[in-house]
Amino acid sequence: MLVALMSVAVTAGLGVPGMAAGDPPPPPPPPPLDLNALTPVKPSDFAMRGGEFYAFAAPGDIACAISRGSGNYGCNGPLPAAPDGANTVTGAQQGPPTFAADNRQLAAFDGLPNRLPPGSRISFRNVTCGTDGTVTMCSNSFDGAGFVLSPGNSYILDPNNPLLLNTGEGHNPYVN
């Protein structure tokens, strides 16, 4: 009786595709840039609209801006590999940015702003944006949230999670 039950269980298991028969998992997203390793530019070289914005062109003719009033930041244009066909990504001084499909420009400029050179970054308040010439990234230093625009995968950088600092002793080592 036991052999018959095992035989039925094995036969039933053979009819169901296993993990090995499925498609391989997608590759992980590329790691974000190390913005601190990039060379800073002079923000005033990227001032637009009477100094209201620091704006720059990113690879792929994407227009990006950091508001000097609010510190909000973002990019719009043909965002590579953006979720749901988004053409805009915006963020604030803290918290995660969001992707959206929007027919309005992030900020109205006469043409593309100055191109941010490969290997450089621009910073204002706690927001830094940079590019290596292929990948563009913006992040806030308050909680680490931001976004990555990459030909293979554009994605949001989630804010730092204090639970990641859990030592296993039931507390965060940086908070008493």
Q: How many domains does the chain have?
A: 1
Q: Is residue 19 part of a domain?
A: no
Provide the domain limits for residue 134: 37-158
Q: Is residue 22 part of a domain?
A: no
Max Cα-Cα span within the chain: 86
Q: Is residue 164 part of a domain?
A: no
Query: What pLDDT does residue 21 have?
Result: 58
Query: What pLDDT does residue 132 have?
Result: 96
Query: What pLDDT does residue 92 have?
Result: 92
Query: What pLDDT does residue 1 have?
Result: 38
Q: Is residue 2 part of a domain?
A: no
Query: What pLDDT does residue 169 have?
Result: 44
Mean pLDDT by 10 residues, the chain (176 residues): 39 46 66 89 93 93 93 94 93 93 72 91 96 95 93 87 42 40
Q: Is residue 122 part of a domain?
A: yes
Query: What pLDDT does residue 24 have?
Result: 76
Nearest to 73 by CA among 131, 155, 128: 128
Q: Is residue 11 part of a domain?
A: no
Q: Is residue 53 part of a domain?
A: yes
Query: What pLDDT does residue 61 have?
Result: 87
Rg of the chain in Å (alpha carbons): 23
Whole-structure pTM value: 0.74
Q: Is residue 3 part of a domain?
A: no
